[in-house]
Amino acid sequence: MSEFVRIMSQQDLPAEGEAREVECGEYQLCVARLNGEITVMNNICPHNGGPLGQGIIENGKIVCPWHAWAFDLKTGQAEHEPRARVPIYDFKIEGDDVLAKLD
């Protein structure tokens, strides 16, 4: 059973409408903020391994910088490929720490 682990400090969260990459142990994460809501998802694009945290956000989706596959920030579902989904992780904020449940 996985537990919440610290992934970053709250002050390092991305600005509205932006995403960033975060490394936490063996995990590469993409942390995004849209309409005030934070998403913590895997950073590795299921198409060919592109860094989603370097992508831009359009229409509620993070767009991979390599070949422009787009993934819903709420579900991780790829826009045009039903079999592709990016894992999204539960997270919480405690004090200045952002904690995520990585499994």
Beta bridge partners of 44: 51
Rounded distance between C-alpha atoms, residue 4 and residue 49, angstroms? 25
Distance (Å) of CA 28 to CA 36, 42, 44, 52, 56: 22, 6, 7, 10, 17
Asked if 45 touches ligand FES (CB under 6 A), the answer is yes
Asked if 99 touches ligand FES (CB under 6 A), the answer is no
Q: How far is the CB of 69 from ligand FES (least distance, A)?
A: 4
Q: Which stretch binds ligand FES (CB under 6 A): 2-10, 17-25, 31-39, 63-71?
A: 63-71
Residue with Cβ nearer ligand FES (67 or 92): 67
Q: Which residues bind ligand FES (CB under 6 A)?
A: 45, 47-50, 64, 66-67, 69
